[in-house]
Amino acid sequence: MSAAVAEAPPATRVDYLNADYGVKSWLLTKDHKRIALLYLGSITVMFFVGGALAVLMRLHLIDPAGGLVQPDTYNKLFTMHGTIMIFFFLIPSIPAVLGNFLVPMMVGAKDLAFPRINLLSWYIFIAGATLALYALVAGGVDTGWTFYTPYSSTYSNTHVITMAVGIFIAGFSSILTGLNFIVTIHKMRAPGLTWFRLPLFLWAIYATSLIMILGTPVVAITLLLVGLEKWLHVGIFDPALGGDPLLFQHLFWFYSHPAVYIMVLPGMGVVSEVIACFSRKRIFGYSFVAFSSMSIAVIGFLVWGHHMFVAGQSIYAGLIFSLLSFLVAIPSAIKVFNWTATLYQGSISYDAPMLYALGFIGLFTMGGLTGLFLASLATDVHLSGTYFVVAHFHYIMVGGAVMAYMGGIHYWWPKISGRMYPDMWARLAAAIIFIGFNLTFFPQFMLGYLGMPRRYATYPAEFQVLNVMSSAGATILGVGYLIPLIYLIWSMRYGPIAPANPWRAKGLEWTTPSPPPTQNFDVTPVVTEEAYAYGPPRPAAEGAHD
């Protein structure tokens, strides 16, 4: 793999961005890179809609009596925030944007296995997202993103069905994307690219895809059953009709717990790439990191009951789910230790992607360790349903998944756009996001231990100080997210032209020009070395360690 690819002057070279012009060339494209950009645009809109809702919530909560909106409106704010962020931003984020862009390039292929299905998945996503936004504009949904029955199925008078159908539809986009990735990684790897030469990003995406295609149908069926109960009064979940509300929670969490790993596993993949590149080291314990992704995907399916320790499942079920939840913590710990060890004796630079990746390690560590409080039965009784839970999962999903997403966007931005972004601004934004994030969510751990329940539109005055701190942090965090939006858009036109490999990174995607031609590679690459061959040059014949 030689990084020195001769580059034609950008004005004349044909790449995937200038290969064709016009709306039609985008809306009917089968190029995985263009579809990745379609996803990028759509989920960015969803991210800022969801973010605006969060800002409104935090402003409202400055006053214990609820300063801004009526309780009903507040209930809709947190419901729409959660639903949009989870189903329409986090779940598609890294897989559908970076995964779409990178999976074919990393395996050395021209495109995904099923380019038409890939485009279809974006249209399905847009259909789902449109319904979700319609539900928001038409008056909102007030059930919480968890849609617990019988509140959602019988008592709520809001647009539950519209939202449920939106999520149901968007789920198929996820299934199709996962299917595409699995087939591509199995069948389209370049000659010489064995499983244990795959970048860890692909291992993570592969594990994620397994969860997508195995888990998503369950939530689709569950939402369908809620619809059946609401429309046709078939007794499934509502005890008044002879149903069982706990059944809903089992079905819902059977998908929605693994869904957490859909959000964070790809982030772990991104972090592995970035850490290796900016410390110029092969990832420490490559096979341990790879297999930990797979074991998270498998064990992740067996821990859903830890959301229900106080919900009324038997205490013996609780005992088993608690044990399994501790087990799923181990592979995550292994990853953290290996990333840290990778830095040892490295040549570490502090470019923006690296700052995000290091931020990820710190925040994910805290998110993971606070998860132990919730996996522990005795402490979970006190903490479940409080702000402690809110803080914990935001450390994983925002401190983890979103940090990694931002890191990944910055890392591959030169490849995606062909332009460099202003480095100082990028580092500044990363620092602001890190500080704003901690100020927003750390006080929420304390609020939770004090006993403040989540989803409260108003609250007793003794919780005010910590709430004000959290709201102050949220404004900083909000600014932190707006800065990259501005300079990344700016860079598309005015940024300096990016070379093929600005970071001197390893990996097939860096061997082709920035932005890549539609076919990705002029000649199918042949892989002769392991991933992350940043070490001293040596004969390929020596073969790979571990």
Q: Which of residues 71-90 bind other proteins (CB under 8 A)?
A: 71-72, 75
Q: Which of residues 310-329 bind other proteins (CB under 8 A)?
A: 310-312, 315, 318-319, 322-323, 326-327, 329
Taking alpha carbons only, the member of 174, 164, 163 closest to residue 39 is 174
Q: Which of residues 501-540 bind other proteins (CB under 8 A)?
A: 504, 532, 534-536
In terms of CB distance, is 322 or 514 closer to other proteins? 322
Taking alpha carbons only, the member of 116, 120, 47, 33 closest to residue 86 is 47
User: How many other CB atoms sit within 10 Å of the CB of residue 377?
Assistant: 17
Residues 6+ apart with CB under 8 A from 321: 303, 304, 305, 306, 308, 309
Q: Which of residues 205-244 bind other proteins (CB under 8 A)?
A: 239-240, 242
Q: How many residues bind other proteins (CB under 8 A)?
A: 96
CB of 378 to other proteins, least distance (A): 4
CB of 34 to other proteins, least distance (A): 34
Q: Which of residues 120-149 bind other proteins (CB under 8 A)?
A: 142-144, 146, 148
Of positions 358, 416, 432, 498, contacts other proteins by CB under 8 A: 358
> Helix (H, G, I), strand (E, B), or coil: what is residue 453?
strand
> Helix (H, G, I), strand (E, B), or coil: what is residue 386?
strand
Q: Give the N- to C-terminal CA distance of the chain in Å, as an integer.
A: 21
> Helix (H, G, I), strand (E, B), or coil: what is residue 419?
strand
Angle between helices 200-232 and 286-299 (to 10 degrees): 10
If binding is defined by CB under 8 A, does position 19 make contact with other proteins?
no
Q: 453 forms bridges with which residues in the sheet?
A: 386
Of positions 127, 348, 420, 483, contacts other proteins by CB under 8 A: 348
In terms of CB distance, is 245 or 258 closer to other proteins? 245
CB of 375 to other proteins, least distance (A): 8
Taking alpha carbons only, the member of 1, 121, 34, 103 closest to residue 518 is 34
If binding is defined by CB under 8 A, does position 155 make contact with other proteins?
yes
In terms of CB distance, is 329 or 420 closer to other proteins? 329
Of positions 29, 83, 93, 156, contacts other proteins by CB under 8 A: 156
Report CA dihedral (297, 301, 306, 307) to the nearest 10 degrees: 100
E strand spans, 217-274: none
Q: How many residues does the chain have?
A: 546
CB of 134 to other proteins, least distance (A): 23
Q: 497 forms bridges with which residues in the sheet?
A: 419
Of positions 25, 345, 524, 528, contacts other proteins by CB under 8 A: 345
CB of 184 to other proteins, least distance (A): 28
If binding is defined by CB under 8 A, does position 246 make contact with other proteins?
yes
Taking alpha carbons only, the member of 386, 395, 390, 396 closest to residue 449 is 386
Structure tokens at 195: 């499983």
Residue 264 corresponds to which amino acid? V
In terms of CB distance, is 206 or 278 closer to other proteins? 278
CB of 535 to other proteins, least distance (A): 4
Q: Which stretch binds other proteins (CB under 8 A): 64-72, 186-194, 427-435, 483-491?
A: 64-72
User: How many other CB atoms sit within 10 Å of the CB of residue 474?
Assistant: 22
Q: Which of residues 364-383 bind other proteins (CB under 8 A)?
A: 365-366, 369-370, 372-373, 376-379, 381-382
If binding is defined by CB under 8 A, does position 298 make contact with other proteins?
no
If binding is defined by CB under 8 A, does position 151 make contact with other proteins?
yes
Q: Which stretch binds other proteins (CB under 8 A): 19-27, 227-235, 334-342, 495-503?
A: 334-342
Residue 477 corresponds to which amino acid? L
In terms of CB distance, is 18 or 458 closer to other proteins? 458
Taking alpha carbons only, the member of 466, 352, 338, 357 closest to residue 403 is 357
CB of 38 to other proteins, least distance (A): 35
Maximum CA extent, the chain: 73
Of positions 288, 425, 442, 481, contacts other proteins by CB under 8 A: 288
Q: Which of residues 256-285 bind other proteins (CB under 8 A)?
A: 279-285
**Is the four-CA dihedral 465, 471, 472, 477 of positive or negative sign?**
positive
Alpha helices in 376-402 (DSSP H): 377-383, 387-394
Q: In the Cβ-directed half-sphere of 372, how many Cα atoms lie within 13 Å?
A: 9
Q: Which of residues 165-204 bind other proteins (CB under 8 A)?
A: none
> Helix (H, G, I), strand (E, B), or coil: what is residue 497?
strand
Name the strand (E) or helix (H) holding 190.
Answer: none
In terms of CB distance, is 210 or 363 closer to other proteins? 363
If binding is defined by CB under 8 A, does position 68 make contact with other proteins?
no
In terms of CB distance, is 345 or 524 closer to other proteins? 345
Q: Which of residues 436-475 bind other proteins (CB under 8 A)?
A: 446, 449-451, 453-460, 462, 465-466
